[in-house]
Amino acid sequence: EKVSTNSPPESRLSKFSPPESVCKEFLGALENGDHIAASQMLTNIAQIETARANLQLESPGVEGSTWEVLAAKYATTQKQHAQVSCKLNQPGDGNPVELTWMLRFQYNGWKIYGMSIQLSQTGPVDLLSFENPKDLRRIQDSVADNDPEMTASQINDSVDR
């Protein structure tokens, strides 16, 4: 399903919302600049670590981008960890960027704790944990030039350091 990141989130999440819905809501909150709502969709540890690092997550992509959110894949049959792949389609760019959101089921529902990104179909997959201070420093370093928009290539550059 393609999701425009220029529209407000469709609904409020509940503890029983599936991982795909959490990702759609998270992307919508980021696009709309609702950093409080986006932060509430992170795991407790990720909320603490991003606040400690003074990191404000921004929407990947540019204005007019759309997301294709795919079905969740679960790490175990107990369904405590999930991966939700999303393809970012940017206007004028025929090559979608694939991001995979990493989620964990907590007492209050599915929460995002990180992401993996692959910029090309043959390139490496890089993992960024929002619970890991070292990864958060890499994200901060990539936006140290005061550019408020962190693009997929900036994320990849920061991981390669």
- Select the more confidently predicted residue: 11 or 116: 116
Tens digits of per-residue pLDDT, 65-82?
888 999 999 988 889 999
- What pTM did the predictor assign? 0.77
Q: How confident is the model at residue 161 (pLDDT cuts 50, 70, 90)?
A: very low
Helical H segments across the chain, by residue range: 19-31, 35-39, 44-52, 133-142, 152-160
Tell me what pLDDT residue 21 has.
95
pLDDT of 40 higher than 70: yes
Distance CA 61, CA 59 (A): 6
- pLDDT value at position 147? 43
3-state secondary structure of 27: helix
Tell me the residue type at 133: P
Confidence of residue 8 (pLDDT cuts 50, 70, 90): very low
Residues linked to residue 84 through DSSP beta bridges, in sequence order? 101
Q: Cβ atoms within 10 A of the Cβ of 30, count?
A: 20
What is the structure's pLDDT at 144? 58
- Of 72, 73, 99, nearest to 87 (Cα)? 99
CA atoms within 13 A on the CB side of 58: 19
Q: Residue 146 phi/psi, 5° resolution?
A: 70, 15
